[in-house]
Amino acid sequence: MCGIIGYIGDNDVAPILLDGLERLEYRGYDSAGISTINRNGDIFTTKAKGKIEQLRKKVKSEYKDISTIGIGHTRWATHGKPSDRNSHPHMSMDGRFSVVHNGIIENFSELKADLQNEGVIFASETDTEVVAQLLAKLYDGDMRSTIMKTLKKLKGAYSLGILCKDFPNEIWAVRNASPLIIGLCENQNFLASDITAVVKYTKSIYQLDDGEFARLTRDNVEIFAPTGEKISKNIVKIDWDVSAAEKGGYQHFMLKEIMEEPEAIAKTISPRINDDNSINLDGINLTAEQIKNLKKICVVACGSAWHVGMVGKYVIEELTRIPVEVDLASEFRYRNPIIDENCLCIAISQSGETADTLAALREAKSRGARILSIVNVVGSTIANESDDVLYTWAGPEIAVATTKAYSTQLTLVYLLALYMAQALDKIDDKEYNEIINAIRSLPEQVASILEQKDEIKELAKRYAYLEHAYFIGRNLDYAVSLEASLKLKEISYIHSEAYAAGELKHGTISLIEEGTVVCALCCCDRLFEKTVSNIKEVAARGAETIAVISESSPNVQLECDHKIYVPSTHELIMPSLEVIPLQLMGYYIALARKCNIDKPRNLAKSVTVE
């Protein structure tokens, strides 16, 4: 939710900020802006509603002066509609401070009213402007103490980049519950919401913790604890390359990331499966004794990560017989959940920063649960606050609609379920080895499905003008249909719903009419015939039907308009295969509709507000 960047060095800052903002655009793209300090010591700000392209045009015409210090922002609107006026950076009334912000200042209304009573005139409707005006009001000539006084007044989540015209050779960075890193380079330093913005320049970063703040100059970075003391931090080295955050010849990040799935799955599972098929879950200290004492597992997550949890429920319960509850993190946090020290809470999150998932994790922790997280971004807040962390090694995921993160999360759920089943002595060697071998084969099988992409593209063209779609399935097929439906709707804007196939006739079937498209996931062999009956029911009412079928499906007569085959595997691992053609289908339908696939309207990849 919103991306921020800051730069100080020897180079012309505007192109560096614009390039960094483009890489952060997945975090929000309602508007963007930059502030720099120009040669005569004034802060110069340019902002534009819309995508970075708009800002780039404005900067080209407005920027006459070269500056080597600046901050920038790309916005996902919360307080105040998208407009030039509400775009960041926000200035203090006296022109001394400029601020970029990611997060929400929860007490901004009170602060704003107090400032207005004292005569401060606000230029925007945003919560962020309060920070700039407060800095100006509390300014005492010393940035460290001014920032500390200001932070004491703020409630909420914020990462901030701050310029003060009295200190034209420094940028200040603040982090509290919103992500922020500092990129370290010779003769230049950066601040950014995310590594992708700076990986082109450096692979050495500091990760600030909550409450910490920093002073960046051309040659130095000083970090301060919330108490104001200077502290030292370890440098974290990033082990992926800039090409991982570029399109590499693909038209969209989403397609690139789908095509990367075999490799991402291989990277996630290979180090964790030993030659003798035993599982080595680095990063988790959960003992066999602790697993035996578990009375319940609760999974908390949002969006597609919640869909992974839905698959996890079936898989973990089947293999361990431990009851699993799967909650939307935004619901869990306010439902007074029944959790104690005999509960394991599994938090699933690509970004590791999703506000609701983090709050749900804290809620479960405060009630005594052990926290195990499945996270993609190393060192993210959710990872830092967990007792055990399993990293998906998916590499950076840029497209707002997740694909490779979803697939790698699934594989860790399988491995975790197997690991626990073994600790509980609930699985025999034969089934254990069958499942492990199925997991090992995933990269190759996923690659074979991706080879069918041109056929799926052809089929997708047929649905470019679709208005409504339904995805149905039973058991694991139902869990996957939730993800397939979300993929389609979020990038193509086609209304789509996922239904447990057996539930359709309790109301929703009344919506089926001539030409409605129903995609049935039929990869659960045990329930194949049941789903086939549901296909017949909708076809009888005029639906156009698509079935996703495993090559091993029972030999039952299935009449439907289109069949998509996927290789067969162990029933519990099937979600990893059946989701792939449906990710491709969503992508190609959106492509045929000329949608903005990587940045769908109103969405952001990392949702750091409630």
- The helix or strand, by DSSP H or E, that contains position 296, with its residue range, turns out to be strand 296-301
Question: Is 595 among the residues known to form the active site?
Answer: no
Question: Is 605 among the residues known to form the active site?
Answer: yes
- Binding residue for ligand G6P (CB under 6 A) from 189, 202, 349, 422? 349
Residue 217 has a CB neighbour count (10 Å cut-off) of 15
Q: Residue 51 or residue 307: which is nearer to ligand G6P going by CB?
A: 307
Kindly state the smallest distance separating residue 329's Cβ from ligand G6P, in Å.
8
Cis previous bond, 581, omega within 30: no
Q: Is 442 in the site for ligand G6P (CB under 6 A)?
A: no
**Tokens encoding 47:** 């902002």
Kindly state the smallest distance separating residue 148's Cβ from ligand G6P, in Å.
31
Kindly state the smallest distance separating residue 375's Cβ from ligand G6P, in Å.
8
Task: List the interface residues with ligand G6P, window 376-405 (CB under 6 A).
Answer: 400-402
**Tokens encoding 244:** 């991982």
Which residue matches tokens 């949002």? 302
Choose one: 36-44, 141-149, 573-581, 602-610; the region binding ligand G6P (CB under 6 A): 602-610
- Residues paired with residue 147 on neighbouring β-strands, in sequence order: none
- The helix or strand, by DSSP H or E, that contains position 7, with its residue range, turns out to be strand 3-8
- Residues paired with residue 299 on neighbouring β-strands, in sequence order: 326, 346
Q: Is 103 in the site for ligand G6P (CB under 6 A)?
A: no
Q: Is 304 in the site for ligand G6P (CB under 6 A)?
A: yes
Q: Is 258 in the site for ligand G6P (CB under 6 A)?
A: no
* Single-letter residue type at 599: K
Query: What are the backbone dihedrals phi and psi of residue 92, each rounded to the nearest 5 degrees, phi first?
Result: -75, 160
**Tokens encoding 50:** 């819309």
- Binding residue for ligand G6P (CB under 6 A) from 31, 86, 330, 351? 351
Among candidate residues 2, 298, 345, 522, the one labeled active-site is: 2
**Tokens encoding 271:** 């180090």
Q: Residue 401 or residue 527: which is nearer to ligand G6P going by CB?
A: 401
- Binding residue for ligand G6P (CB under 6 A) from 305, 438, 535, 591? 305
CB 582 within 8 A of CB 304: no
Kindly state the smallest distance separating residue 607's Cβ from ligand G6P, in Å.
5
Among candidate residues 137, 256, 404, 605, the one labeled active-site is: 605
Query: What are the backbone dihedrals phi and psi of residue 542, each rounded to the nearest 5 degrees, phi first?
Result: 100, 0
Kindly state the smallest distance separating residue 87's Cβ from ligand G6P, in Å.
22
- Binding residue for ligand G6P (CB under 6 A) from 128, 133, 176, 350? 350
User: For the chain, give me the number of helices (H) and strands (E)?
Assistant: 18, 25
Distance CA 585, CA 364 (A): 37
Q: Residue 87 or residue 392: which is nearer to ligand G6P going by CB?
A: 392
Kindly state the smallest distance separating residue 26's Cβ from ligand G6P, in Å.
9
Burial of 588 (0-12, 13-18, 19+ CB in 10 A): buried
Residues that bind ligand G6P (CB under 6 A): 302-305, 349-351, 354, 357, 400-402, 603, 605-607
Catalytically active residues, by annotation: 2, 605
